[in-house]
Amino acid sequence: MTALLGAELLKLRTTRAWIGLVLAIVAVSGAGAAGTVGTASELDLGTVGLSRDVIQSSLLAGFVAFLIGITMVTSEWRHGTITRTFLVTPRRERVLAAKELASLIVGIVLAIFSAALVLAIAVTWLEIEGSSFEVDNSVSELVLRALLAAALWGALGVGFGAVIQSQTPAIVIGILWILIGEGLIGALLGLVDLEPVTMYFPGAALGAFEGGAGADDGLSPWAGGAVGLCWVLGLGLLGYMRISRRDVT
């Protein structure tokens, strides 16, 4: 498994798609941190609430990990390397497991990078303002949940990509579902008083876990993490069923 995991990480490093996604993290998270500190009132400077808002500006890393997870699977079909991969490792569940593990690592690395970026911006800006970045248990827990959520986002992307397999549809459907689909379905379910069902959708559950905007209206953070993990396991199983039955010769 170690060799397979190393191979998956090597495949990722030799592609260019992740570079643009990392640059998106730099641009959006950096701007978010700067905007959060720059627009804060004097009363908010040096407060735990501001520190939590700064950490929340790093949460794009999870969504980026989701997209990278999708491409880790679908790129094999797009470039025709899936046949060679399964010839080298006939046990397809091991291949999918290696991709899942690699995506967990990628998610954590991206979350650490994003958190370090926003902290560097916030701490520097607050020092210039004569203030400081305050940390308590709630801030530390928020950082921990952001790291774990990004790992689950990455694994979710692998399962999603394994189910759909075609790269462009998988990416488009994934983006539309997370950004638009869950909210639209929630609005429709609200017409029949079933809107709470949307709390158990993958994006909403992981959003509650990582503590993003709107999380207070959904599941508790750790309940969201548990639901998100169920989605990861469920999509992973469906993805394995799809891969195991597909002829790739």
8 A C-beta contact, residue 92 and residue 240 = yes
pLDDT in tens, 198-216: 899 999 999 999 886 555 5
In the chain, the number of structural domains is 1
- Residue 110 structural domain: 2-245
pLDDT in tens, 28-47: 888 888 888 888 777 777 78
- pLDDT of 226 > 90? The answer is yes
